[in-house]
Amino acid sequence: MYKIAGQLAWKSLMRRKTRTWMVITMIAMSLSGLLLLQGIYDGMVSHMINTAIRSDSGEISLYASKYRLEKNLDYRIGNLEDIKKYLDKQNMIDAYVIRLAQEGLAATAHKSLGAILKGISLEDERRFGNFDTFLSQGEYSFGDKDREALVGFKLAEKLKATLGSRLIFTAQDANGEINAIAFRIKGIVKTGGLAIDEGSIFISMEKMAEFLSLSGAATQIALRIKNESKIKNVQNALQREFESIDVLRWDELYPLLIQMREMMDVFNMVSYMIVFTIAALGIFGVILVSILERVREFSIMLAIGTPYQNIRHQIVTEAFIMSLFGYVLGAFSGGILLLYTASSGIDFRYFEAGLESFGLNAVLYADIRGYYFLQAFGAVFFATLLSVLWPLRVLKKIKPIEAIQGKML
């Protein structure tokens, strides 16, 4: 019996091709648009998270407790050798870097600005997060005798400094004395992360130790753990091993990114809801009209004994055939758009500076996740269900007797 309903549904749709195509195209186009939107938004957030992890926090960062609050060298990690020994033994940890940072005043001949000076190892940073890929100008090097530095691009811009410019950095050393150090700019980095781009200067660890009169110490140790499911375990193990140190995951260090991700999810949900409520209206219109113009036909079918369920089944099938085609077409074209955007990106050059302030590049790359398509299917399914509710009520009111009454003819 359902087979007959299905055949009738299919034939009715074919009979009204234009209408059917309009609905299918509507669903397909809104779906691929939404999929792309979702992919880009997720891609943006992933990019920001990825940048933060690669250029700063790793999956896990260690700080002396209180350091993040006070930003003071009194709260530094002292037992560096113990920690290094421990970290080297862990095979969950793919790489780690040791950084020593101090806030101070960066000045050129023209201008002075607040900045953070960080002592790092270029080689370690490269292994840790391909830090060299963030270099936008100059060389990924501290020059011979470590006399040169890498500077965040926004900071350089504000200081009106370029490659080769001389910078003076003034800060308090480990003994509480105010010291100054001078160096030239060897390279300019652009990570998309505000903290680095707007306020960080990188010099070699050795120079930094000398400047602060402090060796064998760090303010931060960042770890890479590629196996996502193991991050929590490693964190707990580290915390147990080194009780006096804050062991923090990237999502604890950048709660804003997680919030952003959640906000994007909500935003996507709302978009889906709005779009598919409107789309449901379109499906509804077509289904309702197709019932109204076939009242006579349906009443004759009822009169000759066709079960009501059969006709209801026909209507529901019509709606779902259109939706299914729309979904398949939309998921397919949306998938292609996503694949393209994931590999080649979309260029929003006009909005570049604005995107930068969010820590993004002008070219946005999309994420693709399997659940997009599941979610999209759910949305199409519910929109279709919603759209047939009222038409089915109309159908229910059709009486077989109407076939024979003159008013119908």
CB of 285 vs other proteins, minimal distance in Å: 5
Does position 335 bind other proteins by CB under 8 A? no
Task: Answer whether 169's CB lies under 8 Å from 116's CB.
Answer: no
Q: Contacting other proteins (CB under 8 A), which of 2, 162, 164, 178?
A: 178
Interacting residues of 215 by C-beta distance below 8 A, sequence separation 6+: 209
Asked if 374 touches other proteins (CB under 8 A), the answer is: no
Of 189, 193, 216, 190, which is closest to residue 203 (Cα–Cα)?
Answer: 189
Binding of other proteins by 273 (CB under 8 A): no
The least distance separating other proteins from the CB of residue 205, rounded to whole angstroms, comes to: 22
Q: Which of residues 154-173 bind other proteins (CB under 8 A)?
A: 170-172
Paired tokens of 104: 């101070």
Comparing C-alpha atoms, which of 58, 59, 78 is closest to residue 67? Answer: 78
CB of 310 to other proteins, least distance (A): 7
Pick from 81, 228, 240, 353 the residue near other proteins by CB under 8 A. Answer: 353
Binding residues with other proteins: total (CB under 8 A): 79
Find the shortest distance in angstroms from Cβ 152 to other proteins: 14
Does the protein bind other proteins through residue 351 (CB under 8 A)? yes
How crowded is residue 264: how many other Cβ atoms within 10 Å of its Cβ?
17
Element (H, E) at 362: none
Rounded to a whole number of angstroms, the minimum distance from the CB of residue 233 to other proteins is: 29
Taking 3-state DSSP, the helix, strand and coil percentages for the chain, each rounded to the nearest 5, stand at 60, 20, 20
> What are 112's two structure tokens?
């002075």
The region of 56-64, 92-100, 304-312, 328-336 touching other proteins under the rule CB under 8 A is: 304-312
Closest CB to other proteins among residues 95, 258: 258
What is the three-class DSSP state of 247?
strand
Q: Which is nearer to other proteins, 87 or 392 (CB)?
A: 392
Nearest residue (CB) to other proteins, 140 versus 358: 358
Measured from the CB atom, is 133 or 309 closer to other proteins?
Answer: 309
| Residue 344 CA: distances (Å) to CA of 48, 337, 340, 365, 373 | 18, 10, 6, 7, 21
Task: Please name the amino acid found at residue 44.
Answer: M
Of the ranges 184-192, 203-211, 284-292, 332-340, which one interacts with other proteins (CB under 8 A)? Answer: 284-292
DSSP class of 264: H
Give me the DSSP letters along 308-321.
HHHHHHHHHHHHHH
- Contact between 390 and other proteins per CB under 8 A: no
Q: Which 3 state secondary structure label does DSSP give 183?
A: strand
CB–CB of 197/155 below 8 Å? yes
User: Is residue 271 a contact residue for other proteins (CB under 8 A)?
Assistant: yes
86, 140, 348, 381: which one contacts other proteins (CB under 8 A)? 348
**Is 72 one of the binding residues for other proteins (CB under 8 A)?**
yes
Q: Interface residues for other proteins in 31-70 (CB under 8 A)? A: 33-34, 37, 40-41
Token couple for 233: 């375990």
Span 193-252, contacts to other proteins by CB under 8 A: none
Among 11, 85, 226, 369, contact with other proteins (rule: CB under 8 A)? 11
Angle at 19 between CA 390 and CA 275, to 5 degrees: 60
Contact indicator for 256, 195 with CB cutoff of 8 Å: no
Q: Does 403 contact other proteins by CB under 8 A?
A: yes
Report how far residue 393's alpha carbon sits from residue 245's, in angstroms, rounded to the nearest whole number.
66
- Residues in 128-147 that interact with other proteins by CB under 8 A: none
Q: Which is nearer to other proteins, 235 or 299 (CB)?
A: 299
CA atoms within 13 A on the CB side of 94: 16
| Contacting residue, 65, 259, 349, 378, with other proteins by CB under 8 A | 259
Site map for other proteins, 80-119, x if CB under 8 A? -----------------------xxx-x-x-xxxxx----
